[in-house]
Amino acid sequence: MTTFTSNVTHEIAPLLRGLTFDGQKGLFVHEVSHKIPSLILPAVAEGSSVEETASLWGRLLSAYTAERQLYPSIIAIDGLDLQFGLGTNYDEAVRAEGVSAIPSLPPSQSREDVVRDKIALVTGGAQGFGEGMVRSLVQMGAFVYIADMNGEGAKKLADELNYEACITVAKPLTVNVTDEVSVGQMLDEVAKQTGGLDLFISNAGVLRAGSVKSMALKDFQFVTNVDYTGFFICTKFASKLMSLQNIPSNAYYSDIIAISSKSGLQGSNKNGAYAGAKFGTIGLTQSFALELVEDNIKVNAVCPGNFLDGPLWSDPEKGLFVQYLAAGKVPGAQTVADVRRFYESKVPMNRGCRTADVMKAILYIVEQTYETGQAVPVTGGQVMLN
C-alpha cells in the first residue's frame, strides 16, 4: 500500500491525471481564482492511502459524470489553491487563463499518433539530438518540456515552437541532471503545470575523449556524473510521478527512454569514460525495467550511431572531430574532413545517424507495450546484436 508523504501537488496531480486520462483528455493545471470549480474533491491527509484516495475520487467523479453525462471542466482539491482543468471540455480549458494546452490535431493512422496528446520531457533538449527530438515530438502532437542546463537556449526554442503553433506546445525547464534537488524541482514543476508525464527521454550527455593513460580523473567523473548518474537521478524522480498515474487503473503505460549510444554496445578506443557510462546506462535500463514494470513504466534505451551533423561532432571548437584529430585517434588524419570520412566509412549505410532515425525507434518503444529493458540499436548496420 502506498501512502501520501505530504499533501502537495506533485503527489496529487499525477494521481488525479491517472484517474481521468483516457488517451483523449489531458489534465491541465492552473491557478485561476475566479473560476468556480465544477467538482470539489476531498483533500488527503499525510499518511493516507493513495489507493483508497484514488478509489474515493473515482467514485465521486463517476457519480458526477453519470448525473451530468459529461466530465467536470474544472476539478479542485479541497484545501489547495490549485485547480485542475480537464481536457474533456477542451475549448473551455484552453481559453482559461494560464492553461498549458496541447494543440488539437486532425486524426490520422500513422505510428506518430502514439505520442499525440502525450506529455513528454527531453533532457538536453535545447540543442543537438535533443532539439531534434523536441521538434519532432511537437510536430507529432505532444506537449514537450525542454529541460536543459542551457535555460536561455531552452526558452528560445520553446518561444519559437509556441509562436509557430499559436498555442503553448512546449515549456522550458532549467535543470542540472547531476543534482537531485534540481531534478526534483523539475518534476515538481511538471506536476504543477500538466499534472503528470507520459514520456521521459533522458538525453542529456557529455563526452570527453582521451587515453586511459592520460585522462584526468575529473574528466572521467564529469562524463560519468552526467551520462550515468544523471540517468539514475532522472529515473528516480520521474518514476515516482509516473507510478502515481498508474494507481487508479493499473493500466496507465508510461515510458522512460535513455538515449545511450552504439558505444554502449561495444567499446570505443580512447573513449572509455563515455563508453563505460553508456554501458552502465544499459545496465541501469535493464534493472529499472524489472523493478518498474509493476507500475506499467517501460524503461528502454536507444543506441544511436554517430550523429555526425550535430554539434557534439561538428562544433568547430569543441566537437568530436576536432577532439579526435587532436588526440590522434584516427591514424593518418590531417584534417577534420579526414576524421569525418573515416567515421562515415565505418557505417554500412555510409552516413551518420539522424534525428528521424532515432524518432522511429522512440515511437516503436512507446507503441510496443509488450517490451521493456531493451537497448535498440540505430546504427546503420555498424553494430549488430548477437
How does pLDDT run across 287-338, given as a tens digit for each residue?
Answer: 999 999 999 999 999 999 989 988 778 989 988 899 889 988 899 999 999 9
Cell numbers found for residue 182:
534540481
Kindly tell me if the per-residue pLDDT of 223 is higher than 70: yes
Kindly tell me if the per-residue pLDDT of 27 is higher than 50: yes
Cα–Cα dist 379/264, whole Å:
12
Q: What are phi and psi of 370, to 5 degrees?
A: -110, 45
Greatest alpha-carbon span in the chain:
78
Question: For residue 94, what are the CA distances in angstroms to 15, 74, 105, 152, 168?
Answer: 22, 12, 14, 26, 10
What's residue 28's pLDDT?
Answer: 59
Q: What are phi and psi of 255, to 5 degrees?
A: -135, 135
Residues of each domain in the chain carrying CATH 3.40.50.720: 111-302
Exposed e or buried b per residue across 154-183, where buried means at least 16 C-beta atoms within 10 angstroms of its C-beta: bbebbeebeeeeeebbbbbbbbbbbeeebb
What's residue 292's pLDDT?
Answer: 98
pLDDT band at residue 13 under the 50/70/90 scheme: confident
Kindly tell me if the per-residue pLDDT of 193 is higher than 60: yes
Average pLDDT over residues 41-61: 87
How does pLDDT run across 100-145, given as a tens digit for each residue?
Answer: 444 444 444 677 789 988 899 999 999 989 999 999 999 999 999 9
Cα–Cα dist 282/268, whole Å:
16
CA count, 13 A, side-chain hemisphere, 40: 9
What's residue 106's pLDDT?
Answer: 46
pLDDT band at residue 79 under the 50/70/90 scheme: confident
DSSP symbol at 271: B
Q: Which CATH architecture has domain 111-302?
A: 3-Layer(aba) Sandwich (3.40)
